[in-house]
Structure 1
Amino acid sequence: MNMTIARNNKICLRQITSSEIPYVIRLEQDVENAEFVGQWDEAQHEAALQNADCGHWMIETTVGSRVVGYAILRGLKNPYHSVELMRLVIAEKSQGYGRATLRLIEQVAFEQFHAHRLWLDVREKNLRAITLYQSEGFVVEGTLRECQKFGNEYSNLVLMSRLEHEWRAGQ
């Protein structure tokens, strides 16, 4: 069951399958991603697949249906209409897939799930992601100081969000 959630001219989002979880874990553990992406085991990903409050989606190219990453949204049933972009991991960097996916995720969050607020946290050292989010209209709300540990080092998380009316004004 590869249910398509949404698509634009570059990528499509679809529900991942249990058999694809090992790929997702490999992508999390990839040397280019591991420092910036939370690490889940198979059981955690499987639980997310079964959770109606969570969107666990593969990112595929529109042409050729090549998998180029995955995304996780949480809070799809949040009573306050606040949806979290929990993960956005792109395998093929510098091809525009991250920007195309972010734009599609915003559309899905605000139009399909009627979010008022789309938020995320990003490791302070992940300048590529922070730059992307800011260029797409996300606003820095603050810093969660030394709240995650990677290896022997604590890292700060930058809290960012975009409100529905801000997104609609930019359309």
Structure 2
Amino acid sequence: MRRLTDTDSAIAYSTDLLRSDRIYLREVRDEDLGQFTRWWNDPATLTLQQSTARPVPEGATVDRFREWTRTMTLQDFGLAVVRASDDTLIGQAGLKLEQYGRSAEFVIVLGPEYTSQGYGTEAVRLMLRFGFAELGLHRIELWVWAYNTRAIAAYRSAGFIEEGRRRDVAFHNGQYCDEVIMSVLENEWRRSAERQQDSAS
């Protein structure tokens, strides 16, 4: 990773920290919360986000996202995912920090119309960089339903490793489903980031 040696290198680091070629991460605004709620209750995402597929009242969902995306505390960092080409809001990503152990849980919601286009993988990589390079985390984990194969592929591409399963914890369509636990450690992320940097140069 490039060291901060002068003003220009510090500016370059902060400019690129939350930005990739196609997306950037910014603060969550009040006007974003309604869109988050619509995505959360979209029939296409119900079984991907919830253990029981049911719409949640708008007020409760807005309150949930407002709580998740508080960036003024040291416990939760929630950011909006925005397409760089036209400043369109396409999702939300966050880290829920644990008090001890320098670890956090990663969460993400993308609008169904923006999935399967590589945006999710880019958002995951940006949040990992933010968590490890800026927040000094040691471990980032996530939980994902086993049938959410697209998300699992994106997480693996970003460096997450499956470390276990909670068996038969969700029930949809008359059948039980596993929840996959994945994580990535800071040294694993750093090695992966260095390889990506070397291949790009």
TM-align CA RMSD: 2.2
Q: Choose which of 142, 159, 166 in structure 2 pairs with 1:120.
A: 142
The one of 109, 112, 124 equivalent to 1:102 is 124
More strand by share: 1
Give 4+ residue runs of structure 1 displaced > 4 Å after superposition. Answer: 149-154
Where 2:47 maps in the other structure, the secondary structure is: coil
Residue in structure 1 matched with residue 32 of structure 2 by the alignment: 20
If you compute each CA radius of gyration, which structure gives the higher value, 1 or 2? 2
Distance 2:29 2:121 in 1: 24
Aligned: 1:80 with 2:98: no
SS of residue matched to 1:141:
strand
What is the TM-score of this pair, normalised by structure 1?
0.86
Deviations 1:87-135 (A, max 9, x none): 3424412221111111111111111111101110000110111112122
Please state how far the C-alpha of 1:151 moved relative to its aligned partner: 7.3
5+ unaligned residues in a row in structure 2: which ranges? 1-14, 51-55, 194-201
- Does structure 2 retain, via aligned residues, the 8 Å contact 1:124–1:156? yes
Q: Give 1:50 shift.
A: 3.7
Counting only pairs closer than 5 Å after superposition, residues 1-171 of structure 1 correspond to structure 2 as: 6-38=18-50, 41-50=61-70, 52=73, 53-75=75-97, 78-91=99-112, 92-149=114-171, 154-171=176-193
Deviation of 1:8 (Å) = 1.6
**Aligned 8 A contact 1:84 1:119 in 2:** yes
Q: 1:50 to 1:61 in 2, by over 3 A?
A: closer
Report sequence identity in percent.
Answer: 26
How far the C-alpha of 1:42 sits from its partner, in A, is 1.9
- Structure 1 residues not aligned, in runs of 5+: none
Contact 2:26 2:79 in 1 (8 A): yes
- Comparing 116-125 and 21-30, the one that deviates more: 21-30
Instruction: Tell me if structure 2 keeps the 8 A contact 1:90–1:98.
Output: no
Instruction: Give the secondary-structure state (helix, strand or coil) at the position aligned to 1:44.
Output: helix
Distance (whole Å) between structure 2 residues aligned to residue 25 and residue 106 of structure 1: 25
